């Protein structure tokens, strides 16, 4: 699942990426890191533009280099909690679209299995598609802001 270094990659200066990284590569890596409570991680090599994929569960993923913690060379992709895309996002949506059910949503998220029950509520209220659009827009905005803050030039 590892991507190959991009042709024409050059050594970076400072903390920015050496070259633009395709938005789809960033988004796919973010989704990989976001899977459940897994121990998946993805790292962007700032020098080559290569994405390194790793899972604690094994499989055909990359062996991480010894210097993976070198922030000038590698950048770990965030997970949704790092970008406030978990419960805070749900509560913003509830405030905007389900104001009369806000307390119920808060109660749902006080126990395990919240997302399943939340989807059930959204389906009953007829706003599931609105949630998916809201979530996708918030994810893209937060991830693009994260890229900008970390000097990652995004293409697309």
d(CA 44, CA 144) in angstroms, rounded, equals 15
Please say which residue of 25, 45, 77 terminates a domain: 77
119 and 54 fall within a common domain: no
50-59, 91-100, 120-129, 145-154: which has the minimum mean pLDDT? 50-59
Nearest to 45 by CA among 23, 67, 78: 67
pLDDT per residue as tens digits for the range 93-106: 999 999 999 999 99
Instruction: Calculate mean pLDDT across residues 124-130.
Output: 97
- Has residue 155 been placed in a domain? no
Percent of the chain with pLDDT over 70: 86
73 and 1 fall within a common domain: yes
Domain limits at 135? Answer: 79-150
3 and 58 fall within a common domain: yes
Q: Indicate the pLDDT class of residue 16, thresholds 50, 70 and 90.
A: low
98 and 146 fall within a common domain: yes
Please say which residue of 39, 56, 77 terminates a domain: 77
Residue with structure tokens 């749900």? 90
- Has residue 156 been placed in a domain? no
Q: Looking at the 3D structure of the chain, how many domains does it have?
A: 2
The full length of the chain comes to 156
1 and 73 fall within a common domain: yes
Is 145 a residue whose pLDDT tops 90? yes
Q: What is the pLDDT of residue 58?
A: 73
18 and 64 fall within a common domain: yes
């Amino acid at each position: 699942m590892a991507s190959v270094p991009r042709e024409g990659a050059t050594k970076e200066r400072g903390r920015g990426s050496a070259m633009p990284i395709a938005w789809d590569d960033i988004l796919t890596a973010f989704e990989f890191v976001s899977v459940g409570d897994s121990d998946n991680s993805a790292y962007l090599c700032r020098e080559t533009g290569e994405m390194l994929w790793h899972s604690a569960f094994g499989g055909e993923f990359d062996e991480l280099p010894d210097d993976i913690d070198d922030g000038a060379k590698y950048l770990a992709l965030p997970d949704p909690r790092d970008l406030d895309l978990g419960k805070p996002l749900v509560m913003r949506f509830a405030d905007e679209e389900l104001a009369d059910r806000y307390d119920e949503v808060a109660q749902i998220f006080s126990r395990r299995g919240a997302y399943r029950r939340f989807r059930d509520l959204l389906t009953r209220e007829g706003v599931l598609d609105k949630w998916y659009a809201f979530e996708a827009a918030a994810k893209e905005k937060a991830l693009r802001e994260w890229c900008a803050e970390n000097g990652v030039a995004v293409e697309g």
